[in-house]
Amino acid sequence: GQQLNQSPQSMFIQEGEDVSMNCTSSSIFNTWLWYKQDPGEGPVLLIALYKAGELTSNGRLTAQFGITRKDSFLNISASIPSDVGIYFCAGHPRHNSGGSNYKLTFGKGTLLTVNP
Amino acid sequence: DSGVTQTPKHLITATGQRVTLRCSPRSGDLSVYWYQQSLDQGLQFLIQYYNGEERAKGNILERFSAQQFPDLHSELNLSSLELGDSALYFCASSVGDSFSGNTIYFGEGSWLTVV
């Protein structure tokens, strides 16, 4: 199946620092989504991207849909302790155009730890 | 709170047993999805139902089955359980079937431990 390579696997940062993580694929994706999962919770959608080159912000979070449609990044500015969690990228491969949401493919996640 | 409700939150059972996980989608959502999350495999799609009918299958084992009832709630049945089936099982829902403009909302998951 489709593979999404998400990096880094984990990050340890100080409160106030900016964070960047990314996802790449060998094939073209039609959508890119970024989720955050807190311990004991399900993934929560942070940002959805639908067009190549699209840059979208949600508070301190900014994500971009790569122009090649094979990558996306998520930036978190001025991190705070509650940013701790696992961040997942996800996307719909191009051949799924108009099809079911089931082909939403997830990356393995980036574990973010923020030291106060 | 995503509006997707899953029960039970935690379950411990022995190998060879059978369990049923239950999911109530968000009000108005017709699609229900089941995902399995494990440390080594990440989030893996299992199966999708739309308005009571199976829509798509992912990496679901033959020992597993699911259904969506007329009231749109769904159950995932896991039988002949093996140690490797220990994982977090998520249910998710969305309004429609197409990905266009559709957001998938996840429940809090059911943590299954097989001993």
- Tell me if B66 sits within 8 A of B50, measured CB to CB: no
Q: What is the pLDDT of residues B1-33, one digit of tens each?
A: 889 999 999 999 999 999 999 999 999 999 999
Judge whether B74 is closer than 8 Å to chain A, CB to CB.
Answer: no
* Contacts of A27 by beta carbon, 8 Å cutoff, 6+ apart: A2, A70, A93, A94
Q: Quickly list DSSP for A29-57.
A: EEEEEEEEE-TTS--EEEEEE-STT-EEE
Q: What are the backbone dihedrals phi and psi of residue B77, each rounded to the nearest 5 degrees, phi first? A: -105, 125
What are A63's two structure tokens?
């994500």
Beta bridge partners of B90: B35
Q: Looking at beta carbons, which residues of chain B come within 8 Å of A39? A: none
Q: How do residues A38-95 score in pLDDT, each as one tens digit?
A: 987 889 989 999 899 999 999 999 999 999 999 999 999 999 999 999 999 998 877 6
What are the distances in angstroms from CA A58 to CA A4, A6, A51, B78, B89?
23, 20, 17, 38, 28
Residues of A in Cβ contact (< 8 Å) with B107 = 42
Q: What is the DSSP letter of A82?
A: G
Q: Tens digit of pLDDT for each residue in B50-63?
A: 999 998 888 899 99
Q: What is the pLDDT of residue A14?
A: 96
Question: Is 60 exceeded by the pLDDT of residue A7?
Answer: yes
> Is the CB of residue B8 less than 8 Å away from at least one CB of chain A?
no
Write down the pLDDT at residue A104. 78
Q: Chain A residues with CB inside 8 Å of B104's CB? A: 45, 101, 104
pLDDT, residue A97, reads 47
What does the mean pLDDT of chain A come to? Answer: 89
DSSP state of B98: B
| Structure confidence by residue, pLDDT tens digits, B96-111 | 875 555 678 899 999 9
Please answer yes or no on whether B94 and A101 come within 8 Å at the CB atom.
yes
Q: How many H helices and E strands in chain B?
A: 0, 11
pLDDT score for B87: 95
Sort strands B110-114 and B10-13 into parallel, antiparallel or unpaired.
Answer: parallel
Contact predicate B53/B95, CB 8 Å? no
